[in-house]
A and B are shown apart, each in its own frame.
Chain A
Amino acid sequence: MTATAVKQSRRRGRRRVFNTVNVSAVAIALITAAPIYWLLVNSITPTGEMGTLPPTFWPADPTLTHYEEAFGQHAFGRYLFNSLLVACLATTTVLGLSLFAGYALARMPVRGKGPIMVFLLMISVFPTIAVVTPLYMIERSLGLLNTHIGLILPYVAFNLPFAVWIMRNYLKDLPYELEESAQIDGASTTRTVWSVILPTVRPGLFAVGVFTFTACLTEFLMAMTFSSEDEMRTVPVGIALFGSEFEVPFGTIFAASVATVLPIAVLALVFRRAVVAGMTAGAVKG
């Protein structure tokens, strides 16, 4: 479509190019935004108006009842707490481990770097379903089911490989003067990594952080399997299992969804550069 459009535009001059591009851009924006709009609107539409046809595109009287239901009557506050706690602790751990592991792989004398990198890459794409049952049985015998640690551990393990890749790519390109001057001053390697390398790789850490945090907040399969008790559910599990076979209270679900997706979306927008850098680090450099 674009190709023919661009060809036409070549014939009709420069102005037309901008029009075609702009029209497509508006179409892309609309298609992307429409479902998001519907989510927002239905989270503030009273239940009575929700199922009506033709649909209410803007509620006659917007209400926050659904939010009260989700966080007052139902346990979404608790779910959000579980999600945030697990995501924060897992992300912190991933950041620490990936900084040092990435450093070792990028700039220290280690044999077998290649195989280690390939091994990590393989792990990062392996389907969760292949490990979920054995992990369930291990956690069951260690008493880790329905605990926060029981989710943090697998989240760390599944997000580490990608994080190490990104950190290694960032660290690889740093000039060697950085460490050399620190070593001449007599600093240990760990001290050098902590006080000289760490500040210079902040963009990389940001990318890893936002990525891991988002992945932890959205993960579903392991969360549902390992934390089945109501008290220990994370937001995705709460949202998926909420309601019954006969009635799905969409208003409450959407209110809880908006309240959870909003912080992630804001985070992604604020750290837009870091997110995009993280997305493309694997693709363009790899």
Chain B
Amino acid sequence: MTAHTQDPAPARATGTERVRTARSPRTGRAQRAATRTAWVYLTPTLVVVGAVTVFPVLFSLAMSFSHVNLSYSGFELEGPTLDNYVALFTSARWYSALAFTLFYTVVTVAVELALGTLVALVLERLTAGRGWLMALLLVPWAMITVVSAQLWAFMLNSSYGVVSWFFDLVGLEVVILGEPAPAVAAVMIADIWKTTPFVAIIVLAGLVTIPREQYEAASIDGAGAWHSFWRITLPQLTSTLAIAVLFRTLQSFGVFDLPFVMTGGGPGTATEPLALLGWRVMFQSLNLGAGAAVAVTTGGIVLVICLLALKLFRAQVGEVRR
């Protein structure tokens, strides 16, 4: 790709320039034809995405404001009503799920970002075996979440898990998945193990774009490693990190499979995220209206985070540029 952009010799470049200017006031008809073709290319994508995502989101919204009656042949919406939201905002379980989801998101994203940056710094400086380590780091990323959830549940099992055995050895008596706080920590550790490599690889891609000379100049000026990390590396990583944080935050916020398999949301509802609560209300209690209210509020929070992040991100990038 870079080869392409550097490739054309000056003479050829002017040649094409001339061709393009000659054609540049495109005839109206050609322009219209091109636009039409473009829409032919775009339509299938927009239709599929719209039908499978936009329409259902609107449908969720409608359901959340209705009483939904399921019957064998179909369903009926009765409304509008605020009952679902009233039920939601007075439910202790929803607040507990919200608290868990927020806590889980903040902690995993922060830890993954810090550890991911450290791993990226190590990868950047590593001279031998870098390819091997990168390859190894791709395995947790490629691992099915459900598999890693079963694996961690197995390792942390109180009667035969290898981690519990180790805890016993060092005299720690704790039933890891049986008590709320350790269970929450366990789910977060499983996620951190699986996702830190992904963050590391993204950060590494940002790191290698920082020109070497800047570090050399700084070290000539007598700046220490800590100082140059803080003053050179971090500011130039801001946009990379911001995108990584945004993607990870939104993914974490929708977490479902890891706690579903690892803890079943337990003990009690200690590790029950919003998505799991919503799914249970809809498909186990068959209360579709209330479930839709959980889903809609979750989606709403995601949208708000997204918009805030975009705004913050823009402000920060502007600051660095200035």
Task: Tell me, yes or no, whether A binds B.
Answer: yes
Using CB atoms and an 8 Å cutoff, list the residues of chain A in contact with chain B. Answer: 1-4, 6-7, 10, 17-18, 21-22, 24-25, 28-29, 31-33, 35-36, 38-39, 42, 50-55, 97-98, 100-101, 103-105, 108-111, 116, 120, 122-123, 125-138, 141, 153-154, 156-158, 160-161, 164, 170, 173-177, 180, 189-190, 200, 203, 214, 217-218, 220-221, 225, 235-236, 239-240, 248, 250, 253-254, 257, 260-261, 264-265, 267-269, 272, 275-276, 279-280, 282-284, 286
Contact of B44 among A3, A97, A103, A174 (CB under 8 A): A97
Which residues 125-171 of B have a CB within 8 angstroms of A? 125-129, 131, 133-155, 159-160, 162, 165
The residues of A that contact B243 with a CB separation of less than 8 Å are 282-283, 286
Q: A134 contacts B299, CB within 8 Å?
A: no
A-B pairs, top 6 by smallest CB distance, nearest first, are A127-B254, A157-B52, A280-B205, A134-B59, A130-B299, A51-B160
* Residue count of chain B within 8 Å CB distance of chain A: 114
Q: A25 contacts B20, CB within 8 Å?
A: no
Name which residue of chain A comes closest to B12, CB basis: A177
Contact of B151 among A100, A176, A236, A257 (CB under 8 A): A257
Known: A180-B19, A283-B244. A36 touches B139 (CB 8 A): yes
Given contacts A109-B38, A240-B146, 4 further A-B contacts (CB under 8 A): A97-B45, A109-B35, A173-B5, A220-B145
Name which residue of chain B comes closest to A164, CB basis: B45
The residues of B that contact A161 with a CB separation of less than 8 Å are 49
Q: A53 contacts B160, CB within 8 Å?
A: yes
Query: What are 6 of the A-B contact pairs (CB < 8 Å)?
Result: A2-B121, A134-B60, A136-B283, A236-B147, A248-B154, A279-B201
Q: A108 contacts B38, CB within 8 Å?
A: yes
The residues of A that contact B31 with a CB separation of less than 8 Å are 109
Judged by a CB distance under 8 angstroms, whether B98 is at the interface is no
Name which residue of chain B comes closest to A130, CB basis: B299
The residues of A that contact B312 with a CB separation of less than 8 Å are none
The residues of B that contact A269 with a CB separation of less than 8 Å are 135, 138
Judged by a CB distance under 8 angstroms, whether B185 is at the interface is no
Interface of A is mostly: helix
Q: B57 contacts A130, CB within 8 Å?
A: yes
Q: B42 contacts A104, CB within 8 Å?
A: yes
Shortest beta-carbon distance, B54 to chain A, in Å?
A: 8
Shortest beta-carbon distance, A20 to chain B, in Å?
A: 9
In angstroms, Cα B198 to Cα A280, docked, is 10
Judged by a CB distance under 8 angstroms, whether B63 is at the interface is yes
Shortest beta-carbon distance, A106 to chain B, in Å?
A: 10
Name which residue of chain B comes closest to A270, CB basis: B135
The residues of B that contact A158 with a CB separation of less than 8 Å are 52-53
Most buried by B among A3, A28, A250: A28
Most buried by B among A35, A175, A284: A35
Judged by a CB distance under 8 angstroms, whether B79 is at the interface is no
B82-90, B174-182, B223-231: which one contacts chain A?
B223-231
In angstroms, Cα B138 to Cα A18, docked, is 24
Q: B261 contacts A7, CB within 8 Å?
A: no
The residues of A that contact B229 with a CB separation of less than 8 Å are 3
